[in-house]
Amino acid sequence: MSSSLCHADLSAVVAAMPKVELHVHVEGSMRPETFLRLVRKHHLDLGVHTEAEVRELFRFRDFAHFLDLYERCTAAIREPDDISLITYELGLRAHGQNVRYLEATYSPGPRYRGRGIPYDEQLDALSRAADRVLADTGVRMRFVLDHVRGEPLDECFEVAAMCVAGARTGAVVGLGLGGFEPGRPASLFAEAIRYATANGVAFVPHAGEAVGPEGIWDCLEFGPARIGHGIRAAEDPDLLAVLRDRRIPLEVCPTSNLCTGTVRDLREHPLRRLWEAGVPVTVNTDDPSMFHTDLTDEHRLAVAHFGFSVAELAEMTLAGADSALLPEPDRHDLGRRLRAELAEFRVSAH
C-alpha cells in the first residue's frame, strides 16, 4: 500500500477492509427510527412522539443523557420480535461496514425481570435474527449474554444458565459482566462465573473503565477470554505485562470512552500505548447509535488520530479473529479467510 495515499483514498480503503467486531451492545445499537417504531407499536409514552423529538433524543450531550436514552430504548423492547428486529438490524449494518464476524452483547435480565420475557424466548429471538443475518448477508453473529452488575446476584446465575443453554446450540459464546463497576467486582459473582466457565462458556467481563487496574486484576482470577474496555490497564505496567504474556485481548471502544468520560480527551486515550506494549487490542463501537459512531468510523479514528497504518489495522483485525470465541476449526477458518481478503489490500497482515 503506497504511503502517498491521500486522506480520501485512505478513508475509502479503511471502509472497504474486512472487519471483526467483538464489543457492541444489541440494545445500544437500536436505530432512532426503530425506537420510534417500537414506541408506536406498543403505544408507549416515553417522552417522544415525533421523528424530530426522537432525533433530538439521540443527539448525544453527556453521560447522564446517554443513561437516560439507554433506559428509554430498553423500555421500548417489549416482546421477542422486538429483540429479533434490533438484532437483525445490527447485523445488516455490520454487513454494510464489511464486518465478517460479530460478537454482540445482550443483557437478558431486564427483559425477564421487567417485561416477563422468558430467557428461552429471548435466546430464540436472538438465534432467529442471527440465522436470518447469516442467510441474507453472510455475516456470522454470536452472542455474549451480559449480567448487569447492579442487579440481583441470583440473576447472574440465571444469565449464566442461559449462556450454558445457548452454548449448546452454538448461539452463545460468552458470559459478560457489565453495568456500573465501582463496588461490584467480578469476584462478587464468582459462583455464576465458575458455573459458566466449567460448562465451556467463556468469561468476557467489562473492567478497567470506571475502576482502575484493580478491576481487571480481580477478573483475572476467573481466566477471562477477553476484557471489555480495559484501557486503565495502561496505568499498571505489571498488569500490561500479564495481559501481554497471557495474550488476553482488550475490546477498546475509543468514542465510547470519550463520551462516557473515561477519558477527558482523545489525546489522553491509551490505545496506541496499549498496542505498543504488546497487549492484543481490538477496536469496537460499544453503543454505536447512542454515541453516533460505527466500526468504520472507529477504524478511521485509529488511523487519523492514533496513527495506525493500514497494515496495523489489518493486524488488529486478525487479532480480533484470533480472539473470536468460536470452536478452533471455525476460528482458524475465519482467520484464513480474513488473511486472504486483507492480502487484496496489499498490506502486510501476518
Give the per-residue SS3 of 15-68.
Answer: HHCCEEEEEEECHHHCCHHHHHHHHHHCCCCCCCCCHHHHHHHCCCCCHHHHHH
Q: Which CATH superfamily is domain 7-28+102-115+144-343 in?
A: Metal-dependent hydrolases (3.20.20.140)
Range from 109-113, 129-133, 336-340 carrying the lowest mean pLDDT: 109-113
Helix, strand, coil fractions of the chain, as percent rounded to 5: 55, 15, 30
The SS3 assignment for 293 reads coil
Query: Which three-class secondary structure state does DSSP give residue 227?
Result: strand
Quote the percentage of the chain above a pLDDT of 70. Answer: 96
pLDDT tier at 2, thresholds 50, 70, 90: very low
- Catalytic residues, by residue number, are 209
> Phi and psi dihedrals of 160, rounded to 5?
-60, -40
The C-alpha cell 485512505 sits at 10
pLDDT at 53 over 60: yes
Q: What is the DSSP letter of 301?
A: H
pLDDT, tens only, 127-162: 999 999 999 999 999 999 999 999 999 999 999 999
Please give the helix or strand (H or E) that residue 133 lies within, else none.
helix 119-137
Q: What is the pLDDT of residue 284?
A: 98
Q: Examine the pLDDT at 3 and tell me if it is beyond 60.
A: no
The answer to whether 209 touches 231, Cβ cutoff 8 Å, is yes
CA 235 to chain centre: 23
CA neighbor of 256 nearest in space, from 17, 25, 6: 25
Q: What's the whole-model pTM score?
A: 0.94
- Cell triple for residue 79? 416482546
Q: What is the mean pLDDT of residues 194-208?
A: 98
Q: Grid coordinates standing for 323? A: 480472539
The structural domains of the chain, with segments of one domain joined by +, span 7-28+102-115+144-343
